[in-house]
Structure 1
Amino acid sequence: MKHTSPSPAKRLAVVLLVSIALVLLYQLSFLVRIVWFNFYNPNSSAVMRQTLSELRKDDPNVQLRFEWVDYDQISPHIKRAVISSEDANFLDHTGVEWQAIRQAWEYNKKQAAQGSERRRGGSTLTQQLAKNLFLSTSRSYTRKGQELILSYMIEYVMPKQRILELYLNMAQWGQVDFGVQAAAQRYFKTDAKQLNASQAARLAAMLPNPVFYDRNGNTPYLQRRTNTIMQRMRQVRIP
């Protein structure tokens, strides 16, 4: 019996089907982890592991500072401050704000050209959580695309309160400090529950560039940004 090999079109179709199946399985693996983290607290994040790996190239003994705190053990001031600073429409959007992304890109490009330290985050809190928890700090279109997909998944699975709780515990607030509890102890010698309005505003102001402010302290811009956040906090709703 004579056997004929598949035509190029059929081979291409098989390759495409296999590729699509692999992509769907890859995305499904993220969805499963998102469902898991809706109920169970993570012990670390992708950005924490990346940061630790980079720091240990110079100091093999370095350790990150991180301590999980539940939502009701976190000061309402820092919740309001972070929403005010990073994502004013947090309670209303579904994960991504496209206009904010475009505006932030234009603003940061202009500031960089002027040699300014100022940066504006166009990502929502949900996008930042997706990056911190699952991805990395690398800048690429592929990473950004995955971040957007994850953001919609997170918003579909998790309530806003859980998203904010995870964000506050996973955010980087210094070279080795992760989470609001470590930040409160590092900068103010207190617990996350005891943060007052001015302390919370300063921590929120650090978020776009935490390592820079960890090294350079309370710069004039950081002071001005802190004051601006304090003025806005009163109108912020929290989940």
Structure 2
Amino acid sequence: MRKRWRGWLWKLPVMFVAATVLQVLLLRFIDPPFTAFMAAREVEAWSSGEFGFRIAYDWCDLDEISRNVPLAMIASEDQNFATHNGFDFKAIEKARAHNERAEERARKRNKPVKRIRGASTISQQTAKNLFLWKGQGVTRWARKGLEVWYTVLIEALWPKARIIEVYANTVELGDGVYGAQAAARTYFGKDANTLTPAEAASMAAVLPNPRRYSLARPGPYVQRRSSAIQRQMRYMGGPEFLRRID
């Protein structure tokens, strides 16, 4: 019995690596019918008695989405997306320094920190949205470890265009609203291929907190951020920037 357990112990890591590689490789070619975050939101709704809750999710290939959308998301979330290998270490260091200063100021005022800056790349967010969970405490750190592994696989096995395509289709843009097409129909009454730069920037402006910041009723913060994203989109060269990831 002990020998049998020892045999399984060394096989388990190999099986995990093989299963996750196959999982990521298949999704390079197969559009995901749902994500881990969508499944978790459905379970959350059912457990709270919201039996009429429905996920809004409608896949569109990248060439069927306005190029303003991926550009706005890159300008908002990950401006080094075209050049990094899944992790932006300069952004991580800047976020760490910013958060330390924010925590110090909060301690002096005896108030909680209002906003913590993150440094997750679009590749990391795609890995989390597709395969993982939010988590708290120990489970959050376990998720972070898996997020690193899945990010490495995604960057190794997918082209950049596929990464931004999956991200644009699966990112949450409102409670139960996932992806650019569902958000375009829900909030703008149109298809994602007709979204203007201003509409795409508004969509990106609610990230990464689409339940805290509303796309349906954008407040001052979302409006200011949308304007800043539009300026960054122009600075990056507009949709021509996307040639770098095609």
Residue type of the alignment partner of 2:77: E
Aligned partner of 1:219: which letter? G
Asked if 1:150 corresponds to 2:150, the answer is yes
Aligned to 1:75: 66
Q: What aligned pairs does 1:52-131 form with structure 2 within 5 A after superposition?
A: 52-58=42-48, 59-105=50-96, 107=98, 110=102, 113=106, 118=115, 120-131=117-128
Aligned equivalents of 2:63, 2:114: Cα separation in 1: 34
CA distances 1:95-126 after superposition (whole Å, capped 9, x unpaired): 11233234335545737956576454311100
> Which residue of 48, 52, 59 corresponds with 2:38?
48
Distance 1:138 1:37 in 2: 24
Q: Does the CA-based 8 Å contact 1:172-1:179 persist in structure 2? A: yes
Say if 1:86 and 1:121, in contact at 8 Å, map to a contact too.
no
Whether the aligned pair in 1 keeps the contact of 2:60 and 2:169 (CA below 8 Å) is: yes
TM-score w.r.t. the length of structure 2 is: 0.84
Inter-partner Cα distance in structure 2 for 1:205 and 1:89 = 18
Shift in CA distance, 119/216, structure 1 to aligned 2, threshold 3 Å: farther
SS in 2 for 1:44: coil
The answer as to 2:219 corresponding to 1:219 is: yes
- Please identify, of 208-217 and 23-32, the stretch whose mean Cα deviation from structure 2 is larger: 208-217
RMSD: 2.3
Q: Distance in 2 between matches of 1:150 and 1:48?
A: 18
Deviation at 1:70, TM superposition (A): 0.6
The 2-side partners of 1:204 and 1:104 are apart by 19
| Contact kept? 2:37, 2:133, Cα under 8 Å | yes
- What is the alpha-carbon distance in structure 2 between the residues aligned to residue 53 and residue 190 of structure 1? 29
Consecutive unaligned residues of structure 1, counting only runs of 5 or more, are 1-5
Q: Deviation of residue 138 (structure 1)?
A: 1.7
The residue type equivalent to 1:52 in the other structure is E
CA contact (8 A) 1:82 1:204 kept: yes
Aligned to 2:192: 192
Deviation of 1:185 (Å) = 1.2
- Residue 188 of structure 1 and its aligned partner are, at CA, apart by 1.1
| SS of equivalent to 1:173 | strand
If you compute each CA radius of gyration, which structure gives the higher value, 1 or 2? 1
Q: Deviations over 1:163-206 (max 9, x none)?
A: 11001011001111001111111111111101000110011111
> CA shift at 1:30, angstroms?
1.3
1:231 aligns with 2:231: yes
Q: Secondary structure at the match of 2:214?
A: helix
TM-score by length of 1: 0.86
Is the 2:65–2:192 Cα contact (8 Å) retained in structure 1?
yes
Contact 1:184 1:192 in 2 (8 A): yes
Query: Which letter does structure 2 place at the counterpart of 1:99?
Result: K
**Unaligned regions of 5+ residues in structure 2, if any?**
none
Checking the alignment, whether the CA contact within 8 Å between 2:64 and 2:192 is kept in structure 1 is yes
* Distance in 2 of aligned mates of 1:105 and 1:217: 31
Structure 1 residue 29 displacement after superposition:
1.0
Residues in 2 aligned to 1:132 and 1:122: alpha-carbon distance in whole angstroms: 16
Q: 1:215 to 1:91 in 2, by over 3 A?
A: closer
User: Partner residue of 1:3?
Assistant: none
User: 1:22 maps to which residue?
Assistant: 12
Amino acid at match of 1:86: E
- Cα distance, 1:216–1:183 mapped onto 2, change above 3 Å: closer
Letter aligned with residue 196 of structure 2: N
Percent identical pairs in the alignment equals 35
Contact kept, 8 Å, 1:119 with 1:208, in 2: the verdict is no
